[in-house]
Amino acid sequence: MPSRDFSLHGAIDLGARQAASRKQQERRAQGGGAPPQGAPGGPYVVDVTDQTFNTEVVERSQSVPVLVDFWAEWCGPCKQLGPILEKLATEAAGKWILAKVDVDANPQLGAYMQQMGVRGIPFVAAVVAGQLLPFLNGAAPEPQVRQAIDQLFDALRKEGILPDAPEGEQPAPGEEAPAADPVYSAAEEALQRGDLDGAKLAFERILAADPRDGEAKQGLALVELSLRVRSLDAERVLQEAAEKPGDVQAQISASDVEMVSGRIDDAFDRLVGAVRRGAGDDRDAARKHLLSLFELLPPDDPRVGKARRGLQSALF
């Protein structure tokens, strides 16, 4: 979840890394240039590699803030957070840049992330004027991510690190600032307070008014998962599930632990197996929980399709 401390005091200075990266690039110069960069979200979203981090992130951060999204293909929560960040970067239209780092394909940056004490992904860092600030650790619904980014840049402006918003972006005299979306206000306020129960209620109210609201569905699913796992001992839960394969509730709890750790296929396979072995209420509980976990991923995610086929096979 987003960090509440946006102070740059104690931030990691990337100057040493910048110098080392330049030397590495000079050594590689005879072997050809860096691979071309893709633009998954337009000009404001760039893919970054071990070789291009210095140019795309450290040097660029001298003129514009850069948010660095550390992700991996196997990480389910990364696939929830990534599109949100890309959408917000496109909306920002150059006020900040999103740099995406595949930690599996870029071992140096993956190792560097671990040296910072980060043990899990998704992880997002803010880089401003060559300094790195840990920012987000874990997935969150779009309203919470948007709020966290706004708070980050407000704090940076107060510290004099970023200039105030240009006059053209301020409301004209006598003109009110655009109102926040009232539909999400209660959810945003609850998430800002860390009130997961309040956020759950707010998302439920949104869905009662519009059952097709995809963002609210994902927000509710993430909040409910956070509520379920916040008091669990992950190691003990997985051990109990291994010792009691016929205990459906143990399998359900273990699937939640696997989801938050990015082991999506394991969580889905566990519940499909519970449906196949179970009967009556136990079988139905495993089925319903599996369907609820599908809400955490995009509908077209191949792992969801695979699990749906497995569920149909187990049921019929």
Cβ contact 77:122 at 8 Å? yes
Cβ contact 296:225 at 8 Å? yes
**Given 68, 75, 199, 260, which residue is catalytic?**
75
Rounded-to-integer distance, Cα 77 and Cα 85, Å: 12
**Given 57, 78, 125, 225, which residue is catalytic?**
78
Looking at the DSSP bridge assignments, the partners of residue 98 are 45, 67
* Residues contacting 103, CB < 8 A, separation 6+: 70, 71, 72, 109, 110, 113, 121
- 78 catalytically annotated: yes
Q: Find the DSSP H helices in 98-195.
A: 107-115, 142-158, 182-193
- 10 catalytically annotated: no
Rounded-to-integer distance, Cα 241 and Cα 30, Å: 55
Of 267, 312, 261, nearest in space to 290 by CA:
267
Structure tokens at 54: 């210095």
- Cis status, amide bond into 35, omega within 30 of 0: no
Q: Could you give the C-alpha distances from 189 to 143, 145, 147, 182, 224, in angstroms and in order?
A: 9, 12, 9, 11, 17
Rounded-to-integer distance, Cα 25 and Cα 54, Å: 9
Active-site residue list = 75, 78
